[in-house]
Amino acid sequence: MSLKYAVIGSGALGGFYGGKLAHSGKDVHFLFHSDYEFVLNNGLKVDSVNGDFHLTGINAYQSTVDMPKADVVLVCLKTTNNHLLKSLLSPILHSGTVIVLIQNGLGVEQDVASVFPQQPIVGGLAFICSNKIGDGHIAHLDYGKLNLGVFQGDIDPVVEQIKNDFTEAGVPAEVASNLMQARWQKLVWNIPYNGMTVVLNTTTDRLMSEASTRQLSYDLMLEVINGARACGVEVKESFADKMMELTDSMTPYAPSMKLDFDFKRPMEIEYIYSRPVKAAMEAGYAMKKVAMLESQLRFIQAGLSEI
Amino acid sequence: MSLKYAVIGSGALGGFYGGKLAHSGKDVHFLFHSDYEFVLNNGLKVDSVNGDFHLTGINAYQSTVDMPKADVVLVCLKTTNNHLLKSLLSPILHSGTVIVLIQNGLGVEQDVASVFPQQPIVGGLAFICSNKIGDGHIAHLDYGKLNLGVFQGDIDPVVEQIKNDFTEAGVPAEVASNLMQARWQKLVWNIPYNGMTVVLNTTTDRLMSEASTRQLSYDLMLEVINGARACGVEVKESFADKMMELTDSMTPYAPSMKLDFDFKRPMEIEYIYSRPVKAAMEAGYAMKKVAMLESQLRFIQAGLSEI
């Protein structure tokens, strides 16, 4: 049986992952927002380091009310839009529809599960560098691996099929045995670099070039690792060293939160900072520096910086 | 016996405190830097909330080599210039000259004592809002109290005389029984607001208006209080509440480090942040959030912010 996919949020992530699936012949239905008309007339263009492609005649929609019920919903919205998910997803769910949350941070699955308590839910972690560079136009610059992990539901065979669909589409995909571990591990990188590039208005390479912020990045990583451990999730300290090496090897990089800040979009403070801080605190560990970064970001988000 | 004063650094602090002493008839000799010629021709003008005054024919010098030996040297330089003190002060010291360091932070007395181990040394804390607004022109906007504390030397009577000279000159002055306590107490305010207004490019009132940074300011204060205690200096927790109230009652304020940052002058990171962090750490207490602020400031000082 082949799976029917719905892609909610066809931007940098949804445009790429959904586009790859559609390009490989899967049955994919895209929800577009501002560039619906453009895509209808011009299709979806993906400039990828692994080969460009251009999809025309795709299944594009302006509202989920008009979409068919899907077997798999790929939620590729920023978490700042998650309050919309109840009304957005309800029309396209059947009892077995798997909701895949390709989103950053901690706690997204829990929150969506409280809205859809009966629905199978999968967490998705995207290790990718991609941007939406224009209407119906995605640039895929580097990486691309998708890590999937079951949060709710007895759905291992379906998740295996989703993984295989991605693999066939040329997207390296894995099923994580421990979703929470995968989420915390991703936070080890996301927490220092997303917030610090915003607060200090800079890029990853500059943070790494100055001794004080290099050390602070590492300290923040260790706090996240200790936070994970407090929550019963094992992450090795050496993982921080691996992330330092990875960052050193990257080209100067503005993480997604820095782009959100630069383009005056809301930042994903809640799921990337507040939830991990709260989870660790409830487990008895204060991530003090992470909490400080959270406070600084909330101040900036409130528009109070710059006189 | 009347005291002969030398004022080293005749800016916002030295211009005001030295100016007040001279205005009341004390024997004061001022070292000027960039505005020496101007002051020689036009005198020193102080616009003060307590009454404006204009000093002409003052004892102005361009080099301490030309100055008479003083009984009291008021060091009113930014601590970022303290590496100059050995050569600046040596020509004007006799064996009993009291060096008064009217400076911010922790460790200035220790460092100067290592350069002048035989000299009486006094720490001075200025609770004042004043600015240099032009050549030979000081604006005194609010407050003004001077808190003096002996660091080195058996000089209680002289310090009492200095206090009286200031009092006669209309400057509220006190002798602190515990200099280190006075320094740590001042840090309880200085550490959160100096650094945070720089890192978040804002003013005190805005930091206080947003819940996240209001709490963070308070948390930073408590860390400083715990740092003080680790160093054997008692500061009550209620002192943090007092500082919160004080800040709430202030007009929107840019602390001295924010002005240094705005005017691209070096910031006093070493004595306001690094030394307290180090002192507390050596005493077994990690001021984690203060250390994080220090790291962020060092990054900014290195000129790495803003792409």
- Report which of A208, A215, A219 is spatially closest to residue A250, judged by C-alpha positions: A208
pLDDT bracket for residue B1 (50, 70, 90): confident
> According to the model, what pLDDT value does residue A307 have?
53
pLDDT tens-digit profile of B222-250? 999 999 999 999 999 999 999 999 999 98
Bridge-partner residues for B59, per DSSP? B29
> According to the model, what pLDDT value does residue B306 have?
77
pLDDT tens-digit profile of B287-302? 999 999 999 999 999 9
How many Cβ contacts (< 8 angstroms) between chains A and B?
92
Interior CA angle at B260 toward B87 and B21, to 5°?
Answer: 60
> According to the model, what pLDDT value does residue A251 have?
84
Q: What is the CA radius of gyration of chain A?
A: 19
Sign, CA dihedral A84-A88-A89-A91, equals positive
Whether B289 sits inside 8 A of A294 (CB atoms) is no
Count CB atoms within 10 A of the CB of residue B154: 8
- How many percent of chain B have pLDDT more than 90? 96
For the question of residue A278 being annotated catalytic, the response is no
Residue B114: helix, strand or coil by DSSP?
A: helix
Q: Which residues of A touch B213 (CB under 8 A)?
A: 295-296, 298-299, 304
Catalytic residue among A45, A78, A186, A258: A186
DSSP-assigned letters across all residues of B120-175? -EEEEEEEEEEEEEETTEEEEEEEEEEEEEEEESS-HHHHHHHHHHHHHTT--EEE
Quick check: A204 and A252 in contact, CB under 8 A?
Answer: yes
> According to the model, what pLDDT value does residue B62 have?
97
> Closest partner residue to A210 among B210, B293, B302, by Cβ?
B302
CATH of domain B4-177: 3.40.50.720
CATH-assigned architecture of domain B181-301: Orthogonal Bundle (1.10)
| DSSP 8-state code for residue B201 | T
Nearest residue in chain A measured CA to CA from B214: A295
pLDDT bracket for residue A47 (50, 70, 90): very high
Element spanning B108, H or E: helix B108-115
> Closest partner residue to B299 among A210, A305, A307, by Cβ?
A210
Quick check: A13 and A128 in contact, CB under 8 A?
Answer: yes
Instruction: Decide if pLDDT at A1 tops 90.
Output: no
Quick check: A76 and A95 in contact, CB under 8 A?
Answer: no
Average pLDDT across chain B, whole number: 96
Q: Range with the lowest mean pLDDT among A218-222, B16-20, B127-131?
A: B127-131
Average pLDDT across chain A, whole number: 96
Q: Which residues of A touch B306 (CB under 8 A)?
A: 201-202
Instruction: Decide if pLDDT at A85 tops 70.
Output: yes
- How many percent of chain A have pLDDT more than 70? 100
> According to the model, what pLDDT value does residue B252 have?
85
Q: Which residues of B touch A303 (CB under 8 A)?
A: none
> According to the model, what pLDDT value does residue B165 have?
98
| DSSP 8-state code for residue B67 | S
Structure tokens at A124: 């998705």
> According to the model, what pLDDT value does residue A273 have?
98
- Report which of A114, A91, A80 is spatially closest to residue A9, judged by C-alpha positions: A80
- Report which of A251, A246, A261 is spatially closest to residue A185, judged by C-alpha positions: A246
**Cα–Cα distance between A230 and A70 in angstroms, integer?**
38
Average pLDDT over residues A28-33: 97
> According to the model, what pLDDT value does residue B253 have?
80
Whether B296 sits inside 8 A of A206 (CB atoms) is no
Structure tokens at A216: 């602070």
pLDDT tens-digit profile of A236-269? 999 999 999 999 998 888 899 999 999 999 999 9
What are the catalytic residues of B? 186
User: How many Cα atoms occupy the beta-carbon half-sphere of A253 within 13 Å?
Assistant: 22
**How is chain B split into domains, by residue range?**
4-177, 181-301
DSSP-assigned letters across all residues of B202-232? --HHHHHHSHHHHHHHHHHHHHHHHHHHHTT
Average pLDDT over residues A5-9: 97
Task: Return the residue matching tokens 């997803």.
Answer: A89
Nearest residue in chain A measured CA to CA from B210: A299
Instruction: Decide if pLDDT at B284 tops 90.
Output: yes
pLDDT bracket for residue B307 (50, 70, 90): low
**Cα–Cα distance between A227 and A288 in angstroms, integer?**
10
Helices A238-249 and A179-199: crossing angle in degrees, nearest 10, is 50
Whether B210 sits inside 8 A of A304 (CB atoms) is yes
Quick check: A7 and A74 in contact, CB under 8 A?
Answer: yes
Helices A179-199 and A275-282: crossing angle in degrees, nearest 10, is 120
Structure tokens at A23: 């390009």
> Closest partner residue to A298 among B203, B212, B296, by Cβ?
B212
pLDDT bracket for residue B195 (50, 70, 90): very high
**Cα–Cα distance between A26 and B11 in angstroms, integer?**
73
**Cα–Cα distance between A49 and A139 in angstroms, integer?**
8
Helices B288-301 and B179-199: crossing angle in degrees, nearest 10, is 60
Whether A300 sits inside 8 A of B200 (CB atoms) is yes
Q: Range with the lowest mean pLDDT among A64-78, B201-215, B251-265?
A: B251-265
Task: Return the residue matching tokens 């490019």.
Answer: B201
Quick check: B294 and A212 in contact, CB under 8 A?
Answer: yes
> According to the model, what pLDDT value does residue B151 have?
98
Q: Which residues of A touch B203 (CB under 8 A)?
A: 307
> According to the model, what pLDDT value does residue A253 have?
80
Nearest chain B Cα distance for residue A13, angstroms: 26
Tell me the one-letter amino acid at A285. Answer: Y
pLDDT tens-digit profile of A99-139? 999 999 999 999 999 999 999 999 999 999 898 999 999 99
- Report which of B187, B191, B201, B181 is spatially closest to residue B291, judged by C-alpha positions: B191
pLDDT tens-digit profile of A143-202? 999 999 999 999 999 999 999 999 999 999 999 999 999 999 999 999 999 999 999 999
